[in-house]
Amino acid sequence: MIPASNEAADLMRSLSHPQRLLVLCALGAEEKSVARLRAELDIAQVPMSQQLMRLRADGLVEARRDGTTVYYRIARPEVLTIVEALHTAFCGPR
């Protein structure tokens, strides 16, 4: 149980920044380009790059390059499960 709690705490630290959480919510089960993410979330290029770099370093997203376009997707199924639960809890009807 202790290793799992450490892993869960690390994941929660990665999710604890509002922009990183927005990026993961916007990705959901889809793959999206950086340009599409920026347009959907209205996040400037530098902060978007910083957040995507952190998410990649933490192993939460994977990148794929197609020419000059970089696409991102959620890398771990448990991340999608948590993001969906947070979306239901905070973004659903109240």
How does residue 91 score in pLDDT terms, banded at 50, 70 and 90? confident
Between CA 74 and CA 70 the distance in angstroms is: 14
Whole-structure pTM value? 0.89
Instruction: Share the mean pLDDT of the chain.
Output: 92
Structural domains in the chain, CATH included, are: 2-91 (1.10.10.10)
Does the CA dihedral 52-61-39-18 come out positive or negative? negative
Is 3 in contact with 65 (CB distance < 8 Å)? no
pLDDT of residue 35: 95
pLDDT digits (tens, 9 = 90+) for 9-47: 999 999 999 999 999 999 999 999 999 999 999 999 999
